[in-house]
Chain A
Amino acid sequence: MPVDITLIIVLVIALALFFDFTNGFHDTANAMATPIATGALKPKVAVGLAAILNLVGAFLSTEVAKTISGGIIKEGDEGVLITPELIFAGLIGAIVWNMVTWLLGLPSSSSHALFGGLIGAALVGFGIGAIDFGVLMSKVILPAVLAPLTAGLIAFVATKLAYGVTRRYDGKPDGRSGFRYGQVFSSSLVALAHGTNDAQKTMGVITLALISVGLLAPDSGPPFWVVVVCAVAIALGTYMGGWRIIKTLGTGLTDVKPAQGFAAETSTAATILASSHLGFALSTTQVASGSVIGSGIGRRGSTVRWKTAGRIAIGWLFTLPAAGAVGALAALVAHLGPWGVILDAVVGIGTIVFIFLWSRRDTVGHHNVVSEVAASGEAVVIAPEIEPKKVAK
């Protein structure tokens, strides 16, 4: 096999695994932000649990997609020929955007970032005809609007219900802290579902790259080593914990209480399961964010920080074009040949290291994701919540 093909395949696998890793730490928040925020689980325990469930999940479901972009890019005989260079450029776009959104603490969809990167790369290589805009609309853009609305509505109803059922008018203990136990289960379900869905995407990318250079027969499943490394990469990423995003989702949008957290996580789990089994794909990240906002609207006396919500929405808006722009740029350079690919890799790694170093200026980790405000809180008297009294008629 020629040296340059070996080089690019090695690079694609390395990048795909790193993408898997960023996917893991980007999405820890979806499952574990609210249990961490309500104190149902200690931060380290929560990410550890999520990591194990992602690892298990990755092994449970290894039926990979036959197309890399789910039909957004016209692949196959009449459309675009998926080359390792295209996958390579797409992955660079996706990873860079994942790192940027992580730095900003924004929950954003890793799969949309991957789609964006691939679309950008395909546009450069094959022009606008390579993209199926109908599929793009129905599989990415419209679900991005519907996912948070759906999950938000469901979480709103669930939160109202949870508070309504447990409400007491006599001021006696209502047992709502018991929702903390429930949170452990509902968020575990989300983590497991994530492992089965998302590790699979990377397995698909690597498998398709191997098929494209003839190392694997067409239509073959992922080799076992691919399954193992993908599972480990996503679990490691999850364990690293995207603390910045956990902070945004757990405490940035609204102050989450146990009943709310349980309602939000259950809504996330139910919506994801329904969407993946009834055939209307919704992004986990967008569902989880919508759930948290919905539960914030649903609890009396809680406020939703719409400014943060707005920042997240802007992040979603930019995911596709931004990852696409980076992917397109990387594809342009990669067309220069092996040296272009090497240049891409060097610049890509440089960008990632730069973002990482930049993030060191103000680290957010398990030690301070639960903020300093709480630590000093013992000195602060906080007025107890006043429960509504039933008005005598």
Chain B
Amino acid sequence: MIDWMGFIVVLVAALTGTVLVVGFYALGLKMLVRAGRVPVVIPAAFTDAITVLTPAEIKSAAKKAAKAARKNPLTPMQKRVALIAAYCCFTVCGLAILFGIYLIVPALHGG
């Protein structure tokens, strides 16, 4: 017997979870950028998939980020709010990860 209802439930649940996590993480990054703290995360290793960065390019990316931060039109208060909002978003993602661990470990949900 094909459990179509079960499939729909899985689809909806997975979609909701993913959209929540990705959405909040992206929003967190956006807020971080707003607050003038542009994350520049240098790849740990280079692959085909990465447009190769030279040390000079990495430097210029960091410089550009700093410049954008300096030119930030927000007042310090607004920046602080944006930063707090960013951390709130990341907290939501962190909670989602914890919920994932809760689901994975049977001892936690008694399954």
Contact = CB atoms under 8 A, between A and B. Distances in A.
Contacts of B41: 40, 177-178, 180-181, 258
B29 A176 contact: yes
A193 B49 CA distance: 26
A198 interface: no
A391 interface: no
Interface string A166-180: 101000111111111
Interface size band for A: 35 or more
A173 B34 CA distance: 10
A42 B14 CA distance: 29
B61 A196 contact: no
A175 B38 contact: yes
Given A266-B22, A273-B103, A377-B52, A150 B14 contact: yes
B22 A173 contact: no
Contacts of B104: 57, 60-61, 189, 192-193, 196, 273
A373 B46 CA distance: 10
Interface string A365-393: 00001110111011010101100000000
A61 B105 contact: yes
Interface in A133-188: 134, 137-138, 142, 146, 150-151, 153-155, 157-158, 161-162, 164-166, 168, 172-182, 185-186
B30 A165 contact: yes
Contacts of B3: 138, 279-280
Given A60-B107, A173-B38, A266-B21, A38 B33 contact: no
A180 B47 CA distance: 14
Contacts of A259: 26
Given A178-B32, A377-B52, A271 B44 contact: no
B97 A173 contact: no
Interface of B: 1-3, 6-7, 9-11, 13-15, 17-19, 21-23, 25-27, 29-30, 32-33, 38-52, 54, 61, 64-65, 68, 93, 97, 100-101, 103-107
The 8 nearest A-B residue pairs measured at CB: A39-B43, A377-B52, A178-B39, A165-B26, A270-B17, A274-B14, A370-B47, A374-B46
Interface of A: 36-43, 45, 57, 60-61, 63, 134, 137-138, 142, 146, 150-151, 153-155, 157-158, 161-162, 164-166, 168, 172-182, 185-186, 189, 192-193, 196, 250-251, 255-259, 262-263, 266-267, 269-271, 273-275, 277-280, 282, 369-371, 373-375, 377-378, 380, 382, 384-385
Given A154-B15, A174-B29, A274-B14, 13 more contacts: A37-B49, A39-B46, A41-B44, A61-B106, A154-B11, A154-B14, A168-B33, A177-B40, A180-B43, A259-B26, A273-B100, A274-B13, A278-B13
